[in-house]
Structure 1
Amino acid sequence: MSDLLEALLGDLRAEGDQLWSAVAGLDAEAWATPTPAPGWSVATQVAHLAWTDEVAALAARSGTPEGKAAWDDVVLAAIGDPEGFVDTSAHEAARLTPQALLARWGTAREALTTALREVPAGEKMPWFGPPMSPTSMGTARFMETWAHALDVYDALVPLGLATRPEPSDRIRHVAHLGVRTRDFSYSVHAEQPPAEQFRVQLVSPSGETWAWGPEEATQTVTGSAYDFCLLVTQRVHRDDTDLVATGADAEHWLTIAQAFAGPAGPGRETR
């Protein structure tokens, strides 16, 4: 296992622990609090993370006969309901008691970490899109954990049931994924991505500068890394960020960017 994967798994654990602390002491009524995602409560958000961690662990273990059979069952379920099986799974798990749901998520988190560590070096694991390396899967799980946690905080903080954590430099994983998925964002909208690479230069929560792409690029994006991460996870409207795009292509990308798999989401309304 690489040092990069181990560091990533540490960040994933820290992000999950932060959310765990926010919800562990809530009663059933608080778990039913609606979040900004239409139709999703706090319980649905955590249930989705638990289910996806479980499925990712199955994918990581698909190299064994037992693991392949379990993964094939998941794929068949997805084929049977391609538009709704993810939401259905989240809503089903959300019916558990808070204690049972937390226990399930805790087991899933541990299983995922173990499974990713055990993937043989150089091998990739299947997923619903292209196969992924353990590091890529860990990055995707971090992104989802961070983004769904934001929805939970948005629901609980106004009620005085939680405090919003300060942004940390762990969000570099989300920013990196947001940059890497540029062309995917275009494909989701049936558009051809620009041939030219963009320069993305962001300021981290700690004040560091993070940069991707050639310095000489004519299409650029600059601004807050936190705002960029909110945007590519569709947790904020483009107009409510401090991001500055130079070039029409870069500006258009910021209106369609998404770091998550699946169809384009509706995004958020402007504040």
Structure 2
Amino acid sequence: MADISALVDDLQTEHDELDKLLTPLSDQQWDLDTPADGWRIRDQVAHLAFFDGAMTQSITDAPAFLATLAIRRDTPDYVNVVAAPLAALPAATLLDRWRAGCTAVTDAMRHADPATRVAWYGPPMSLASACTARLMETWAHGQDIVDTLGIDRPATDRIQHVLHIGYRARAFAYRNRGLDVPTHDIRFEVTAPNGTIWTYGQSQTDVIRGPALDLALVLTQRRHPDDTDLTTQGHLADEFLALAQAYAGKPGTGRRPGQFPRARG
């Protein structure tokens, strides 16, 4: 069983790092457009605040969370609709709401039974996976804010969690597009920020290599593969880079080739 305490510590650190970016923003900066079409910085934070709250509810009151799933099924553009009231708040109020949600979700995870199965918008998942998912979302939406502000954010070893969930979501990425899931594995063989090599998977024929940061950006659709230093061996590795999606929901449009300079981490 994963060390939940260490995972939650990493999630809390990711929250803290994003807080440092958000705290000095002016009201005008909260309304800046981010690389995600139609999303301002305030929309990014509202999204995180809403789904942190949903995760807290699922952990602490699963029946109440399950009752909301019918609303999701009956609400077109659910992701944007549910976060809209939060996005409409004054920036200072939204920041306070997001901070409160960060504290609530990490407290819920620390006090939950590590064996808890957490209901979510797809299949139930382990508490460890739930924590990893929230970290991945915080990091990915934080990247949109970093890109908007033109700030350099050095990679940390916490992106290992992003790679972990991205590798495990490979079958989902195919099914989410109505495609058959390949029967053969692929392998990630990437250089971590600390200079070590991280590997996922067993394939000797279909391999993705390069900086771990670049792969994390592609897995979360924050960079087009062409704007990274990733290389592929084998058609399945090449195919996966075009489909990769570490987060739940509909297939995203990702980023355009040439939209960003090559990542460095």
Interval containing the TM-score (normalised by the shorter chain):
over 0.9
Instruction: Name 1:51's counterpart in structure 2.
Output: 50
Q: Determine the C-alpha separation between the residues in 2 that align with 1:226 and 1:31.
A: 26
Deviations 1:58-101 (A, max 9, x none): 011135xxxx23x13422321221x4121112222111111111
Q: Give the one of 71, 77, 82 matched to 1:77.
A: 71
**8 Å CA contact 1:221, 1:244 repeated in 2:** yes
Q: Determine the C-alpha separation between the residues in 2 that align with 1:85 and 1:229.
A: 26
What is the Cα deviation at residue 169 of structure 1? 0.9
Q: Any runs of at least 4 consecutive aligned residues in structure 1 with deviations exceeding 3 A, and if so which? A: none
Identity in percent: 37
Runs (5+) with no aligned partner, structure 2: 259-265
Q: 83-92 or 102-111: which moved more? A: 83-92
Instruction: Name 1:140's counterpart in structure 2.
Output: 133
Instruction: Name 1:231's counterpart in structure 2.
Output: 218
- Normalization by structure 1: what TM-score? 0.91
Deviations 1:117-145 (A, max 9, x none): 23324220111101011110110000000
Q: Give the one of 162, 181, 191 matched to 1:193.
A: 181
What is the DSSP-based 3-state SS (H/G/I as helix, E as strand, rest coil) of the residue aligned with 1:222?
A: strand
Q: Does 1:97 align with 2:86?
A: no
What is the Cα deviation at residue 3 of structure 1? 6.7
Instruction: Name 2:115's counterpart in structure 1.
Output: 122
Q: Determine the C-alpha separation between the residues in 1 that align with 2:46 and 2:133.
A: 17
Runs (5+) with no aligned partner, structure 1: 158-162
Q: How many aligned positions are there?
A: 258
Deviations 1:230-263 (A, max 9, x none): 0010011111111111111111111001101011
Q: Determine the C-alpha separation between the residues in 1 that align with 2:167 and 2:189.
A: 10
Q: Determine the C-alpha separation between the residues in 2 that align with 1:112 and 1:228.
A: 27
**8 Å CA contact 2:136, 2:162 repeated in 1:** yes
Partner letter of residue 139 of structure 1? T
Q: Give the one of 204, 226, 236 matched to 1:217.
A: 204
Q: Does 1:31 align with 2:19?
A: no
**8 Å CA contact 2:66, 2:119 repeated in 1:** no
Q: CA RMSD in A?
A: 1.4
Instruction: Name 1:154's counterpart in structure 2.
Output: 147
Deviations 1:8-38 (A, max 9, x none): 1111111111111111122211110110111
